[in-house]
Amino acid sequence: MHKYLFKIAVILLISGCSSHKFDENLSKLNENDKLGIVGQITNITNESQRDALNERALTLLNSELGQDEAIELMLVKSPDFQSLLFEHRSRLAVAAQKGRISNPVFSFERMVKGNETEYGRFISFGLLELLTLPARQDTSKISVELGQANLGAEVFEKVNDLRVAWYEATASAKRLQLYEDAFTALSANAELAKRMKKTGNMTTTDRIRQQLLLSGATVALAEARMKNISAREALIRKIGLTSDEADLIDLPETLPELSQYPISIEDLSYEINSRLDVKAARLEYELLLEGIGVDQLNSYTDLEFGYRNDRIDDDGSISNKKGYELEVKIPIFDWGDLQRDMVQSELLAKQQMYKSTVLAAASEIRESYQGYRTAFDIAKHHNDQIIPMYETLLDEATYNYNGMIIGVFELVQVGQEKSSAEIKAIDALQNLYLAELKLKSVLVGGRMGQTQRAP
């Protein structure tokens, strides 16, 4: 009996060694170049870590906040990002816990009857749980891998969302500058028209037209200011800054310059089976497949084993009572057929979902690349064709104005047309970078729900 109990103790000890280290997962994420992470992901658990990261954050805030710096700042400052890490830390701990056997239950009782005192000692554990321990450890391992894949996908999504917010904040600031310039020019026009009307050199209709143009520019400027504030505040929220820290943000004056050549589809390196969504779908299927035997066995019965060792003191006469107990759940009213059908249906659903994810992967890559190429061609056309033509028109209008061929109002109108073209060019450039993000997201298999900006 002692040998048997010793074997049980060894099994329990081994099963208790099933463990999981969250910091190792973060190290793997930091080493994964495909996720586009800048800086180091750190799960802040003590004040010394927080102080060191706050010093790094202050350094980043005291310089121009480029896209990479914004991502690093989010990793350092964002409480929302830290909350995400702690949530996954908890989920991975639960997944690892499934690979451990439940603790045995020890019961002690003392019963007195006349001169007789009985001390009862009883220890029990789930026998079926012990017998299925290897299978449950395998499912626990798969659950941990699935949790790691989901963690990588959500971190990738957070980084992508931050990139989108940075693009919007930077582009909206540039658009605001153009609207301010337009408002200044039209204000001068409206004032000139007002004075010319007083001297009799302009009709009431022409003066009102100039005033209407100024009114439109006033509304557009107010909307641009609000959009700029919203975009900047969205970026601040995603980074997780206080009001004082937000005042230190210094964004670049414009978006990065358009590259000369687009990304070639031949240069895209990807492996469908290593995509995050494909990997997660496969692991979900494998998880149910690995655990189906245990689930089916549990649907029939359950076993509990117990060992009893009682000591009886009958007025000084000591005796012992030993024995075993085996509890078996008898399938009389419920044979578990519905539970088994549910498990089988879930397994087949996960199998089909995995196949669907694999089939959709190649199509998504083709579609996203064509979306990127279209956005690149449009942005390139704005940059190389439309803007230069408007610059030429403005040069010609300035030449004609200096030669007194056209008036100041015609000159300002051409300048307004050029300004509108520049705003559309900014929209097209922003759409290009969003399309590039979506392409990279599809290659990795992450989630990105952002849409293009409508001009």
Q: For the chain, what's the residue count?
A: 455
287-300 pLDDT, tens per residue? Answer: 777 776 666 655 55
- Would residue 158 count as lying in a domain? yes
* Pairwise CA distance, residues 86 & 57, whole Å: 21
> To which residue do tokens 């870590």 refer?
49
The number of folded domains in the chain is: 1
- Would residue 454 count as lying in a domain? no
Q: Please report, for the domain that includes residue 371, its CATH number.
A: 1.20.1600.10
In this structure, what is the dihedral angle of CA atoms 154, 160, 165, 170, given to the nearest 10 degrees? 160
- Would residue 453 count as lying in a domain? no
Say what the pLDDT of residue 455 is: 41
Nearest to 380 by CA among 256, 261, 253: 261
- Return the beta strands (E) in 197-267 as ranges: none
pLDDT band at 235 (very low <50, low <70, confident <90, very high): very high
- Higher model confidence: residue 23 or residue 177? 177
Tell me the three state secondary structure of residue 271: coil
- Would residue 49 count as lying in a domain? yes
- Would residue 450 count as lying in a domain? no
Residue 310, pLDDT > 50, answer: yes
- Would residue 199 count as lying in a domain? yes
- Would residue 452 count as lying in a domain? no
400-411 pLDDT, tens per residue? Answer: 888 888 888 888
Give the H or E element holding residue 453.
none
pLDDT band at 361 (very low <50, low <70, confident <90, very high): confident
Please check whether residue 166 is in contact with residue 452, taking contact to mean a CB–CB distance below 8 angstroms. no
Give the H or E element holding residue 122.
strand 116-126
Distance of CA 156 to the CA centre of its chain: 5
Helices 133-198/408-444 angle, 10° precision: 180
* Pairwise CA distance, residues 301 & 306, whole Å: 17
Instruction: Give residue 105's region: left, alpha or beta (phi > 0; psi -120 to 50).
Output: beta
> To which residue do tokens 């414009």 refer?
254
- Would residue 449 count as lying in a domain? no
Averaged pLDDT of the chain: 83
* Pairwise CA distance, residues 179 & 194, whole Å: 22
Distances (CA, A) of 423 to 219, 239, 254, 430: 16, 27, 12, 11
Please check whether residue 368 is in contact with residue 446, taking contact to mean a CB–CB distance below 8 angstroms. no
- Residue 189: count other Cβ atoms within 10 Å of its Cβ: 22
* Pairwise CA distance, residues 227 & 335, whole Å: 62
Q: Nearest 5°: CA angle at 100, between 97 and 105? A: 115
330-356 pLDDT, tens per residue? Answer: 777 666 667 777 777 887 888 888 888
* Pairwise CA distance, residues 348 & 254, whole Å: 51
Domain around 124? 2-444
- Higher model confidence: residue 264 or residue 171? 171
* Phi, then psi, of 40 in degrees rounded to 5: -120, 130
* Pairwise CA distance, residues 440 & 451, whole Å: 14
